[in-house]
Structure 1
Amino acid sequence: MTDNIERRGFLKRSATLGLGAAAAGTLAAPAIAQSAPNIRWRLTSGFPNNLDTIYGGAVFAAERVKAMTGGKFEIQVFQAGEIVPGGQALDAVAGNTVEIAHTCGYYFTGKDPAFAIGSAIPFGLNSRLQNAWLYHAGGNEAYDDFLKDHGVMARPGGATGSQMGGWFRKEINSLQDLKGIKMRIAGVAGDVMSRLGVVPQQLPGGDIYPALERGTIDAAEWVGPYDDERLGFYQIAPYYYYPSFWEGGLTIHFFINPGEWEKLPEEYKAALDTAFHAANINMQALYDVKNTTAIRSLVGKGAQLRPLPRDVMDEAYKQAFALYEEYSQKSPAWAKIYPDWKKFREEGFEWFRVAEFSYDSYVFGAQAANQQ
């Protein structure tokens, strides 16, 4: 009888303590939430909002940051041109007009060719190796070390995979056919193509179709089937070439003002980094789904798929690596980053030839032959 009374007393005391702990927990949560600051950032995109996948990478990240911080940290996303034109996004971040931008580093190679090496350069890394280099082989650190002299820092925040080689009004059968062609192509890729006789033109995505329509350019590259179909290039330039040797694995970055970053609580920095990682993976996955459907649609609408001629590829390869050596003489930043990048590329390609390339080559060929 005494044992039962003592046991009931213990259970009663335990229940009281439990209720007290639960009450303390419910009181603590709002206190923690109230201590977190309300922060509002503005983000300028390098892309128009009708390109929902590439522009949408910034929206995706902003939504997740807001959710992870209970609505305390909000990032308002503006399309290119709403605050500043896409080509001024980097300067807007450095000057603190906005706290963050979402765009491609190679758009700013006029400042220094090293801007491109963090995003994509001709005959560079595929998307898997690009992520490996950036996240775990010193790429992010090397890129940020360069960027600090330009007043920004960066994090990967989107990927397209291997892109297409662009739309041409006329068929390209040899290297000679490129001579004098006016082509929308940006950055280092434009430098390489100019050595093949192309006249490169740097235009934002929204200006490409009107330029093709007016005949002020003869060819254009953008991303791949999904975006290209939305932009309507097939209606004017029917020859669709592959691959884009200049973008084997593009990384789009979030460029951040370092001073604003340092003001953030550690929890908010972690939320941003998590959202950026998610945006990087999500964009690639979306393109892999959407391009699968879009390429079939484009062919059904009359697009003429063509591989770039071998002599074009071979000469471009030769000229690209000659150009990189020249950059090493002109750009201290390039000279610092490029040797380690090139070593990683060589070793990564050696490994990928063993398993990835062997597997892909066999199953792609077998499926095409057997339709299974």
Structure 2
Amino acid sequence: MSEMKNQAPRRKFLKGAAVGTAGAAALSFPMISKSQGVQNLRFQSTWPAKDIFHEYALDFAKKVNDMTGGEMSIEVLPAGAVVPAFGLLDAVSKGTLDGGHGVVVYHYGKNAALALWGSGPSFGMDANMLLSWHKYGGGAALLDELYKAVNANVKSYVYGPMPSQPLGWFKKPIAKVEDLKGLKYRTVGISIDMFTAMGVSVNALPGGEIIPAMDRGLLDAAEFNNASSDRQLGFPDVSKVCMLQSYHQNAEQFEILFNGTKYNALAPKLRAILDNCVEAASADMSWKAIDRYSKAYDEMQKTQGVKFYKTPDSILRNQLKVFDEVVAKKSAENPLFKKIVDSQRAFAQRAVKWDLDTNTPRRMAFDHYFPSGAKKA
């Protein structure tokens, strides 16, 4: 009897322990609410389906789809599938699209200050430095302030550093500033103001419309972005001369947009996953770009007869001078523009000096190891 009496409290204890363990397990492995369901999001990029930029958008979506384990599914459509490329911000803000992939400078028409995330010399910063300013130097908060000023209901992620963009594709090499005057030329952002002041007739077209316009003679020259994109868009079919290096878009990044209401309704865990997917996609994109851009650059010279030339320093200096004049004018007209410029300038003074003083010149090493291929563009 005494043994049976001793077993009763033991069974009671074990039962209680089992309940406690089950409760602990429930706390450790929370159930996903079935009512929330899968978050199916429809995105559009601002790029043609064949462009590597659209591929970057698909890369980001795949990372999100994989890392959320099926809780979120992003579908990415190419430019024009729902709205024109330059209509992306309005479409995402209104909820016509759940999100999109493009560049901040495409929203230039809303407020000129938006172009400061891609147009101009960025006070000597490269694209990675500009991203550093955005994340750690106050840029993200300033962009949020800008979007509130234009009543855009969006969550913006700026990511993906781009190399310095070429001056563009021309009928013949550009030797001096005067050679640009009167040309019908495609560019975007503050570059419109800069080239207009240099005597150029500017037309801001989305990427997919550039080559048809050049083919029909509506444009004499144009810039888009990089060797891979330019080749895919068909620039070598309408021009055999590309001028490398320019300050008009010296440092630019991509932008991933979410509708603000849709984003804020996401579970904190999903928002955290998005934060980390953006940074993973940014690193992956920059590595892929080096591989693909260098291959396209090499192949266009070897198989398509394209000649690349370095933009003369006289033109680069003139760009800096004219850009300063444009910035002074817009800063006087727009206090928020000035606030952003002042923030970038202060960050650049410190960051660019550190970079120039610290990093070893690559040209010397390249000329040493590859003397036969050391011919400069």
Match of 1:258 in 2: 260
1:280: which partner in 2?
282
Q: 2:323 aligns with which of 308, 320, 325?
A: 320
Higher mean C-alpha deviation, range 115-124 or range 73-82: 115-124
Shift of 1:106: 0.9
Following superposition, the deviation at residue 121 of structure 1 comes to: 2.8
The answer (yes or no) to whether the contact 2:122–2:251 under 8 Å persists in 1 is no
**Hey, what does 2:59 align to over in structure 1?**
60
| Structure 2 match to 1:32 | 32
Match of 1:31, SS state, is coil
Question: What is residue 10 of structure 1 aligned with on the other side?
Answer: none
Question: Aligned to 2:337, which of 312, 321, 334?
Answer: 334
For the 8 Å contact 1:41–1:100, the answer to whether it is kept is: yes
Distance 2:331 2:85 in 1: 28
Say what the alpha-carbon RMSD is for the aligned residues: 2.7
Check conservation: 1:184, 1:219, Cα contact below 8 A.
yes
Q: Report the Cα offset of residue 333 of structure 1.
A: 1.8
The alpha carbon displacement at 1:35 in A equals: 6.9
Aligned to 2:42: 42
2:353 corresponds to which residue? 350
Q: Which residue of 1 aligns with 2:8?
A: none
Q: In 2 relative to 1, CA 24–345 (structure 1 residues): closer, same or farther, beyond 3 Å?
A: closer
The answer for the alignment partner of 1:94 in structure 2 is: 93
Q: Which moved more, 1:360-369 or 1:122-131?
A: 360-369
* Contact 1:159-1:250 within 8 A present in 2 as well: yes
Displacement of 1:165:
1.9
Call closer, same or farther: CA 1:81–1:176 in 2, change over 3 Å: same
Q: How does 1:125-274 map to 2 (within 5 A)?
A: 125-150=125-150, 151=152, 152-274=154-276
Distance 1:35 1:67 in 2: 21
- Between 333-342 and 35-44, the greater mean CA deviation after superposition: 35-44
Q: Judge which range, 20-29 or 308-317, deviates more.
A: 20-29
> What does 1:111-122 correspond to in 2, within 5 Å?
111-122=110-121
- CA shift, 1:74, in A, is 1.2
Distance 2:373 2:95 in 1: 55
The letter of the residue matching 2:158 is P
C-alpha distance 41-81 of structure 1, shift in aligned 2 (>3 A): same
Cα distance in 2 for residues equivalent to 1:354 and 1:180: 40
Secondary structure of 1:32's aligned partner: coil
Who is 2:104 aligned against? Answer: 105
Aligned-residue offset at 1:352: 1.0
Mapped contact 2:248–2:319 kept (Cα < 8 A): no
CA distance in 2, matches of 1:123, 1:131: 11
Q: 1:107·1:186 contact (CA, 8 Å) conserved in 2?
A: yes
Q: Offset of 1:158 from its aligned partner?
A: 2.6
- Note the alpha carbon deviations across 1:296-327, whole angstroms, 9 max, x for none: 11111211111112221111110101111111
Opposite residue 257 of structure 1, the aligned amino acid is N
Contact kept, 8 Å, 1:42 with 1:100, in 2: the verdict is yes
Does the aligned pair in 2 maintain the 1:112–1:331 contact within 8 Å? Answer: no
Does the CA contact (< 8 Å) of 1:100 and 1:256 recur in 2?
yes
Secondary structure (helix, strand or coil) at the match of 1:290 reads helix
CA–CA separation in structure 2 for the residues paired with 1:175 and 1:28: 67
* 2:169 partner amino acid: W
Q: Is the contact made by 2:67 and 2:273 (CA closer than 8 Å) also made in structure 1?
A: yes
C-alpha distance in 2 between matches for 1:362 and 1:145? 44
1:295 aligned partner: 297
Q: Which moved more, 1:203-212 or 1:361-370?
A: 361-370
Cα deviation for residue 285 of structure 1 reads 1.3
Q: Distance in 2 between matches of 1:27 and 1:327?
A: 56
Alpha-carbon distance in 1 for matches of 2:198, 2:27: 69
User: Any conservation in 2 of the 1:123–1:246 contact (CA below 8 Å)?
Assistant: no
Letter paired with 2:120: I
CA contact (8 A) 1:156 1:277 kept: no
Residue by residue, what CA displacement relative to the aligned partner does 1:4-24 show, whole Å, maximum 9, x if unpaired? xxxxxxxxxx9xx99x96998
Greater Cα shift, 261-270 or 120-129: 120-129
Compute the displacement of 1:146 (Å): 1.4
The CA deviation at 1:256 is 2.2
Partners in 2 of 1:37 and 1:286 — Cα distance? 34
CA offsets per residue over residues 136-170 of structure 1, 9 Å max, x none?
11111211121122312311233322222211012
TM-score (norm 1): 0.88
Q: Is the 8 A contact 1:49 1:79 kept in 2?
A: yes
**C-alpha contact 1:120 1:251 (8 A) present in aligned 2:** no
Q: What amino acid sits opposite 1:138 in the alignment?
A: G
Contact 2:155 2:263 in 1 (8 A): no
Q: Deviations over 1:100-143 (max 9, x none)?
A: 12111111212211111123433552122122111211111211
Q: Is the 8 A contact 2:131 2:159 kept in 1?
A: no
Report the CA distance between 1:345 and its aligned residue: 1.2
How many residue pairs were aligned?
Answer: 358
CA 1:218–1:243: 2 relative to 1, 3 Å:
same
Paired with 2:277 and 2:64, the residues of 1 have a C-alpha distance of 6
Whole-angstrom distance in 1 between the partners of 2:156 and 2:341 = 18
1:8 corresponds to: none
Q: Is the 8 A contact 1:175 1:309 kept in 2?
A: no
Structure 2: runs of 5 or more not aligned: 1-13
